[in-house]
Structure 1
Amino acid sequence: MAKAEELLVEGVSVELAGARLVHEVGLRAAPGQVVGLIGPNGSGKSTLLRCVYRVLRPAGGSVRLDGEDLHALTPRESARRVAALTQEHSAEFDFTVAEVVAMGRLPHRRGLSGPGAADEAERCAWAIRRVGVEHLAERGFLNLSGGEKQRTLIARALVQEPRLLVLDEPTNHLDVAHQLEVLALAREAGPTVLTALHDLNLAAAHCDLLYVLRAGRIVASGPPEEVLRPELLAEVFGVRATPVRHPLTGALQLLFDRL
């Protein structure tokens, strides 16, 4: 199980092509917490996540992991501590599922040593089984369905053993059963998790804290039961939300109507 580290985003702003897309955002994820970003399309969720996993550099502010500036780390150091599952993924070569998953171990290898170590093979086999793609292990990644690709990439992120796992809409392309499984898997693996989610019921069920983004600014934050209020959801998402309790678990769930 990975050692979790604290994520601290302080006053982060992001600019692209002269436009400011994220405005002085601050958030904290304690070690081992699952923290969700929610907000309408275009609110800045993915842009902020790209800043956390170092694809974008902030125009202002800082992103720190256990007090260290993530953007000051070497790529290898960063890859040992942060894994990301992004919305966009491409592969120019048709690696097998097993090969794609094994790529998650690259930051932990020394020199040009291959994936032959017994512990590495065992970790990869565990992740492949855990996400339910063992029957696809020798299949080419390019020939998979969207859901199969997503599960393979989740396995790759898990074997990377990150201290921080960044997930951008991780339930995209997944059927209902695997949607319910993916965030539970992330929590079980042990890292701190920062995830952007569209499904507010998944966010309510799996996140310890939620941050609501609108037009690149945080407009609300706190535990799901405090944040997912009908008046806020009407203002931010433009929907009428009716809170209910799950009949078996008692967890907060939301029913939606047009305003």
Structure 2
Amino acid sequence: MTALTDVTDAEDLAVDAVSVELAGTRLVHEVHLKAAAGQVVGLVGPNGSGKSTLLRCVYRVLRPAGGAVRLDGDDLHALTARQAARRVAALTQEHSVGFDFTVAEVVAMGRLPHRRGMGGPTDEDRRRCTEALHRVRAGHLAERGFLSLSGGERQRVLIARALVQEPRLLVLDEPTNHLDIAHQLEVLALAREAGPTVLTALHDLNLAAGHCDLLYVLRAGRIVASGTPHEVLRPALLAEVFGVRATPVRHPDTGALQLLFDRLP
């Protein structure tokens, strides 16, 4: 993936005492979370901890049962769909394309919030879409049908679509799913280079440690720890929350925190 030439403005995110309910069951309980403009903030926790549910509330698929999600002080759920789409983009785990659009057409959908009236794509729209595809090393796929792609190729195309939306907040739900190791290492770096505030759910704690400024640990819908990766990813907490024995080590070149895992005795 290549470096970005256009950098998006970022905005502060505040999740204020947000609770989420589905079918009468409360899945997220009064979560407080902050991400300063331009930060990459990670949500980590075991399966079923509420990460995806909370993210769905942030990108407006679900409404909070209590509390509010604010971007630069504005209640996101009080914005029109168009207003929100100009400020928030999401890469979700559940994505489907009903018809076999070309890759170029799928990426161009990210420009829809910026078009006026019923007008078609402009030369600037096309330039941004082409550049985004090259950023994710998918330029050669532009004329391919989206449904013919592998899981990893689809993921890279959807990342490009999110980037051309020029969001102030980029929400990523397990963005490294289906990606090979090289692209796993690059995708969060690419999101940071693009400039928006990033809120991402991650299963891979080593990716979280290497790419996130702050981490929030969810368990049973509640925040149980928050802070920098060094503050949060401690053996005692990982044993309690994830049920694993973790040994922290330092990367020999960068000094970044890395974790070795084993089953608890």
Counterpart for residue 239 of structure 1:
244
Provide the C-alpha distance between the structure 2 equivalents of 1:178 and 1:99, rounded to a whole number of angstroms. 23
**Mapped pair 1:152 → 2:154:** no
Counterpart for residue 33 of structure 1:
39
TM-score (norm 2): 0.97
Counterpart for residue 107 of structure 1:
113
Shift, 1:24, TM fit: 0.3
Aligned residues: 258
Identity of aligned residues (%): 83
173, 195, 211: which one aligns with 1:168: 173
Counterpart for residue 42 of structure 1:
48
Shift, 1:122, TM fit: 1.2
Shift, 1:232, TM fit: 0.3
Counterpart for residue 133 of structure 2:
128
1:196-215 matched pairs, under 5 angstroms: 196-215=201-220
Q: What is the DSSP-based 3-state SS (H/G/I as helix, E as strand, rest coil) of the residue aligned with 1:255?
A: strand
Provide the C-alpha distance between the structure 2 equivalents of 1:89 and 1:72, rounded to a whole number of angstroms. 25
Provide the C-alpha distance between the structure 1 equivalents of 2:37 and 2:249, rounded to a whole number of angstroms. 30
Q: What are structure 2's unaligned runs of at least 5 residues?
A: 1-6
Q: What is the DSSP-based 3-state SS (H/G/I as helix, E as strand, rest coil) of the residue aligned with 2:83?
A: helix
248, 256, 260: which one aligns with 1:251: 256
Q: Which amino acid aligns with 1:193?
A: V
Shift, 1:125, TM fit: 0.9
87, 91, 96: which one aligns with 1:85: 91
TM-score (norm 1): 0.99
Counterpart for residue 184 of structure 1:
189
Name segments (4+ residues, structure 1) moved above 2 Å: none
98, 103, 128: which one aligns with 2:104: 98
1:54-73 matched pairs, under 5 angstroms: 54-73=60-79
Q: Which amino acid aligns with 1:93?
A: F
Q: What is the DSSP-based 3-state SS (H/G/I as helix, E as strand, rest coil) of the residue aligned with 2:99?
A: coil
Q: Which amino acid aligns with 2:149?
A: L
Shift, 1:238, TM fit: 0.1
